[in-house]
């Protein structure tokens, strides 16, 4: 849905830019044919140039936003595929982010059993045991 919106915005901006350039060309032709005074031409030229700059800035901003979303998506996709490496290389804050993503209801420590267990109120998330084992999530003093 976001991509469709971006495509639509890009089309609208391209159309507006094309219209402004056509208006600029018509103004030049009218000036050369004597249909437009020098004062009117200068006013038209200034208005068209300002609008073209505004449209080009909007296009640049849209492109920057698209590339930003693309970079974030690629980074997220990479990290989603390599939780173990992200865990090993992550600082405390990064590990907390990963833990909250995998165990939104928490990962309480069971004193009687001597290890961490997923909370009873969350649905089973496939693969959490392998991640927990590989990351050595367990008893006190373990990471």
CA 142 to each of CA 27, 91, 94, 126, 139: distance values in angstroms, whole numbers, following the listed order? 75, 15, 17, 23, 6
With 60 as the cut, is the pLDDT of residue 126 above it? no
Give the pLDDT confidence of 82-105 residue by residue, as tens digits: 777 878 888 888 888 877 777 777
pLDDT at residue number 46 = 95
Q: Average pLDDT of 125-143?
A: 51
Mean pLDDT score across all residues of the chain: 76
Q: Decide if pLDDT at 107 tops 80.
A: no
Kindly provide the b/e burial profile for residues 32-46, where b requires at least 16 CB atoms within 10 angstroms of the residue's own CB. eeeebeeeebeebee
Burial class of residue 131 in the structure, from the number of CB atoms within 10 Å of its CB (0-12 exposed, 13-18 middle, 19+ buried): middle
Give the span between the Cα atoms of 49 and 136, in whole angstroms: 63
Global pTM value:
0.46
- Which of the pair, 75 or 135, is modelled with greater confidence? 75
Dist CA 55 CA 81 (whole Å): 39
Mean pLDDT of 127-139: 52
pLDDT, tens digit, 9 for 90 and up, residues 32-44: 999 989 999 999 9
């Amino acid at each position: 849905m976001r991509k469709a919106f971006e495509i639509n915005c890009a089309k609208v901006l391209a159309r507006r830019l094309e219209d402004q350039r056509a208006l600029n060309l018509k103004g030049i032709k009218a000036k050369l044919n004597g249909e437009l005074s020098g004062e009117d031409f200068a006013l038209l030229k200034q208005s068209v140039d300002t609008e073209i700059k505004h449209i080009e800035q909007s296009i640049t901003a849209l492109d920057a936003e698209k590339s930003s979303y693309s970079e974030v998506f690629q980074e997220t996709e990479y990290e989603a595929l390599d939780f173990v490496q992200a865990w090993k290389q992550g600082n405390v804050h990064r590990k907390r982010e990963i833990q909250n993503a995998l165990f939104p209801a928490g990962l309480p420590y069971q004193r009687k059993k001597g290890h961490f267990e997923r909370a009873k109120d969350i649905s089973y998330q496939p693969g959490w045991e392998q991640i927990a084992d590989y990351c050595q999530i367990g008893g006190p003093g373990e990471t």
